[in-house]
Amino acid sequence: MARLLFGDMVERLGPVHANAGIERRWSCVPLDWYGRPHGWRERSALFVENGVALASQAIAACLSRAGIGLDGVDALVAVSSTGVCTPSLDALLIQHLRLRPDVVRLPIFGLGCAGGALGLARAAALAQALSGRNVLLVVVELCGLTFRPQDRSPGNVVATALFGDGAAAALLSTKADGPAITHWGEHTWPDSLDVMGWRVEEDGLGVLFSRDIPPLIARHFRPALDGWLGRHGLGRADVAGYLCHPGGAKVVTALEEALELPSGTLAHERAILRGFGNMSAATVMFVMERGLSQSSLTGPTVAAALGPGFTAGFVLLEP
């Protein structure tokens, strides 16, 4: 399949895939789908069909774990950047799941890989405003549907090695048990719009993915984090741990360098990347689930992700 799609470029792909640190990924379409041309109409229909199905599975698992029925959902925050639909994903899910007609809706598009952390931040703010009510956050990204084999740009070549499909959900309430989200925030670097994002092409979304992302993180992530922590009267010495979005193997290494952590510290990040690939916004939620299920919080923990803008999103979890 790789030779069919990329022809004489296939030799260039070998080292890229070998260095990605990914062993397995999921796709909502079979491999032979990628060998045929596809336009906006088909890609959008597949996004709606598979996005609603996958998001519904994540929601069912989340609510079952929380012991809450569908009628207990008071607000729905739906995050995605890999497909476009109107009515938006939240409205489609309300119809599909038969949620209450008075559910508060918040669709979020365009945050890319930062959407998991910033989606949690928006959901936390909504839960705070709707005190005592249940706010459901669902993140679904079908990255594979954006693949365009005729795009031979370096960014797209790297994207073929990194991205996969996935969804995650979380329930937030001021009355809920479990880790508390106490602070959230973000930092958008000036003059950085060309670092990451989409180009709208005739046949779909074209990836914009700078090779400078790891060095940017290594140089600039720590000052942004320090500034955000400082605004809440905290420093990195107060942070017990980190749960970060693993954009790629080089990104994880850059995060460890930026945070002055020993190599290999971000083990949850590497494990999720290895087992699922980069699922854009959903990935940090997979990291959080793994981290929280394998060990309890010992103190303030920062969840973080980076995405188009170029923006870092921060969420502080406390026991």
Q: Using CA atoms, how far apart are residues 116 and 164, in angstroms rounded to an integer? A: 15
Write down the pLDDT at residue 6. 61
Write down the pLDDT at residue 240. 94
**pLDDT per residue as tens digits for the range 71-106:** 999 999 999 999 999 999 999 999 999 999 999 999
Q: Residue 252: what residue type?
A: V
198-223 average pLDDT score: 89
Fold assignment, 180-318: Peroxisomal Thiolase; Chain A, domain 1 (3.40.47)
**pLDDT per residue as tens digits for the range 252-264:** 999 999 999 999 9
Residue 15 has pLDDT above 90, yes or no: no
Q: Using CA atoms, how far apart are residues 44 and 296, in angstroms rounded to an integer? A: 40
Domains 2-172 and 180-318 share a fold: yes
> Domain locations in the chain?
2-172, 180-318
| Confidence at 8, pLDDT banded by 50, 70, 90 | low
Backbone angles phi, psi at 312, to 5 degrees: -105, 135
Write down the pLDDT at residue 256. 97
Could you confirm whether domain 2-172 is CATH 3.40.47.10? yes
Higher pLDDT, 160 or 105: 105
Higher pLDDT, 156 or 36: 36
Higher pLDDT, 209 or 75: 75
Write down the pLDDT at residue 228. 98
Give, for 193, the enclosing helix (H) or strand (E): none
Q: Record the pTM.
A: 0.93
- Active centre residues (catalytic): 113
